[in-house]
Amino acid sequence: MGRYLKSLFSIIVMLPVFASAADSGNIVVVPEKENVGACAMPDEIAPVDEAPFKMKKLVRPAFPCRRDTLCTSDISSDGKITKAVNSMIERISRRGGGTVVVPAGRWLSGRIELKSNVELHLAEGAVIEFLGQVADYQPAVFTRHEGVEVMGAGAFIYANGAKNIALTGKGVIMGPPMDVPMRKFPNGNSVVEKDIDYRMPVSERLCDGLNGRTFYRPKSFSPINCKNVLVEGVTFERSLLWNVNPVYCENVIIRGITVNSTDVPSGDGIDISSCRNVLIEYSTLNCGDDCFTLKAGRCEDGLRVNRPTENVLIRYCLAKDGHGGITCGSETAGGIRRVYLHDCVFYGTRTGFRFKTRRNRGGTVEDITYENVRLVNVREAFTWDLLGSKMYMGELARRNPPLDITPLTPTVKDITIRNFIVESADRMMTINGIPEIPCSGVLIENGSVRTNRIIKTLNDADGIMLRNMEIQATDNTLVIDNSRNVTFDNVTFYIPGNALNIDFRGNNVSDIIIRSGGKERQCHNGINLL
């Protein structure tokens, strides 16, 4: 049993001011809900010059003036446009490129495949409803399912190895009705890394749903191995799985899209998977799972591929319902680095900032900066979860004893979150790290928080700084368990009893510092030191 100490620190009571960071002299200016999201999108893409890392200038792809428009005579005898629209795309690509237009109306389709130098434009009032039969997504194509490469359904709109492609317009991409049998198909027999042997050649990993084989539901839009990709203005409704999921892509612009998938399990909004040079702006996500998500491959197969997600800018976006406003993981094997999110609003998401990986996922999440964010009605503002649940992870979800460090051991470090307002939360923060490699290098500064609870626990963290913050809470308890180098610097609390109740647990608690007004209180292994 580790030592257990309950310490009470007196604090200064001040009137809360939730528009600025307490005592820092720096006003926190964050956007309102009306300033962000698809409804606020301007016509032009502003220059990318504010990122804390060197970011390639991203330019909207241009297409020749050549156009081809779908018409009702293109509907086949079975009521679908699949054959016609794919023929148009193929033909216009061979001629050097152009735009295929889907006019207003309701159109039924199976899988559509984009080709190089083609823009698929959905006019206002156009709805492409994708069908819910396995046959509509044959033959199997090369894709990635939850971070593992397979041959499967791909996506409603798919591309492989294309350059200069776009999905644009004010129309709607819609999945099949909510009662189709496909929605009830099991997502494999277990977690995907157990279903797919990473040593098997990818060409043999056939998951097409035929002859009793597994069928992984198609995503809504998922280009793979593509360069210069644009998604703009489109609304995604009623997905079967993830909505927008570029994989192994370079130079990606996603702007002004709307996602509504709250009733869809695993209905993620935007999943960036092992891509580089990505701009996401003025988008509104309302999801049945994570909203803005960064991924990089899973377990041994992700290590084999070893492709990171890097150089990602997310700005002026709105996350509504969803498990996480911005989530790194849980597929992290190739690494996630150089990510910058600013001027966003998370309105009603379960978690605001979410870092999620597992002991068998590998990779490093690092060099992440989030700033100028407003959080409203969130369950928890900041979450680190490196353990997962026993249901999916078995004994790997057991925190102790520490395990040997292997190539599959994940690392999460060097995270900065600054200039934020948490208007309302049930809990401010939880860190569930792993003792082998604690979460480290976390700076949270210049923020105002209204919450019921402050910190559920800081497990296995090394190097956490909370600086220049105001925290108003209805509970006064913090739990710090086997963590070290944790500093509260100029943090003003408004809590019951005007006293902070800190529970220290474990044998490895050290260097816990509360610094305010030039005075410092330090706790070392459960002993108070002035």
Q: What is the pLDDT of residues 124-157, one digit of tens each?
A: 999 999 999 999 999 999 999 999 999 999 999 9
Q: Give the rounded percent of residues in the chain with a pLDDT score beyond 90.
A: 84
State the average pLDDT over residues 54-77: 95
Q: Of the candidates 444, 460, 438, which has an alpha carbon nearest to the alpha carbon of residue 505? A: 460
- Looking at residue 473, its pLDDT comes to 97
Phi, psi angles (nearest 5°) of residue 55: -120, 130
Left (φ > 0), alpha (ψ -120 to 50) or beta: where does 86 sit? alpha
Instruction: Return the residue matching tokens 């690092």.
Output: 366
Amino acid at 530: L
pLDDT tens per residue, range 81-98: 999 999 999 999 999 999
Lowest mean pLDDT among 52-56, 80-84, 373-377: 52-56
Q: Which two tokens stand for residue 339?
A: 């990510």
Q: What band does 26 get if pLDDT is binned at 50, 70 and 90?
A: low
CA gyration radius, the chain? 24
Q: Is the pLDDT of residue 484 over 60?
A: yes
Amino acid at 153: A
- Report how far Cα 396 is from the mean position of its chain's Cα atoms: 23
State the average pLDDT over residues 74-83: 96
Q: What band does 28 get if pLDDT is binned at 50, 70 and 90?
A: confident
Q: Is the pLDDT of residue 11 over 60?
A: no
- Looking at residue 523, its pLDDT comes to 64
Q: Is the pLDDT of residue 325 over 60?
A: yes
C-alpha to C-alpha distance for 192 and 150, rounded to whole angstroms:
10
- Looking at residue 18, its pLDDT comes to 31
Q: Is the pLDDT of residue 251 over 50?
A: yes
- How many C-beta atoms surround the C-beta of residue 67 within 10 A? 13
Helical (H) or strand (E) element with 90: helix 82-94
**Could you give the number of structural domains in the chain?**
1
473-489 burial string, b = 16+ CB within 10 Å, else e? beebbbbbbbbbbbbbe
C-alpha to C-alpha distance for 39 and 47, rounded to whole angstroms:
20
Contact by Cβ (8 Å): 114, 164 = no
- Looking at residue 499, its pLDDT comes to 82
- Looking at residue 19, its pLDDT comes to 39
Q: Is the pLDDT of residue 469 over 60?
A: yes
C-alpha to C-alpha distance for 138 and 141, rounded to whole angstroms:
8
Q: What band does 475 get if pLDDT is binned at 50, 70 and 90?
A: very high
- How many C-beta atoms surround the C-beta of residue 515 within 10 A? 15
State the average pLDDT over residues 291-312: 98
C-alpha to C-alpha distance for 229 and 163, rounded to whole angstroms:
7
Q: Is the pLDDT of residue 528 over 70?
A: no
pLDDT tens per residue, range 159-172: 999 999 999 999 99
CATH number at residue 222: 2.160.20.10
Q: Is the pLDDT of residue 258 over 50?
A: yes
- Looking at residue 21, its pLDDT comes to 40
- Looking at residue 279, its pLDDT comes to 98
Contact by Cβ (8 Å): 265, 289 = yes
Q: Give the rounded percent of residues in the chain with a pLDDT score beyond 70.
A: 93
Please state, in angstroms and as integers, the Cα–Cα distance from residue 51 to each residue in 5, 42, 491, following that order: 43, 20, 27
Contact by Cβ (8 Å): 345, 90 = no
- How many C-beta atoms surround the C-beta of residue 392 within 10 A? 13
- Domain holding 478, by residue range, is 4-529
Contact by Cβ (8 Å): 130, 175 = yes
State the average pLDDT over residues 364-384: 98
C-alpha to C-alpha distance for 41 and 174, rounded to whole angstroms:
22
Amino acid at 23: D
State the average pLDDT over residues 453-461: 95
Q: Is the pLDDT of residue 408 over 50?
A: yes
Q: Is the pLDDT of residue 9 over 70?
A: no
Left (φ > 0), alpha (ψ -120 to 50) or beta: where does 452 sit? alpha
- Looking at residue 230, its pLDDT comes to 98
- Looking at residue 137, its pLDDT comes to 98
- Looking at residue 524, its pLDDT comes to 53
How confident is the prediction for the chain on average, in pLDDT? 92
The number of residues in the chain equals: 530
State the average pLDDT over residues 461-483: 95
Q: Is the pLDDT of residue 174 over 60?
A: yes
Q: Specify burial of residue 198 (Cβ count, 10 A radius: 0-12, 13-18, 19+).
A: middle
Q: Is the pLDDT of residue 1 over 80?
A: no
- Looking at residue 16, its pLDDT comes to 31
- Looking at residue 510, its pLDDT comes to 86
Q: Which two tokens stand for residue 132?
A: 């819910």
State the average pLDDT over residues 222-250: 98
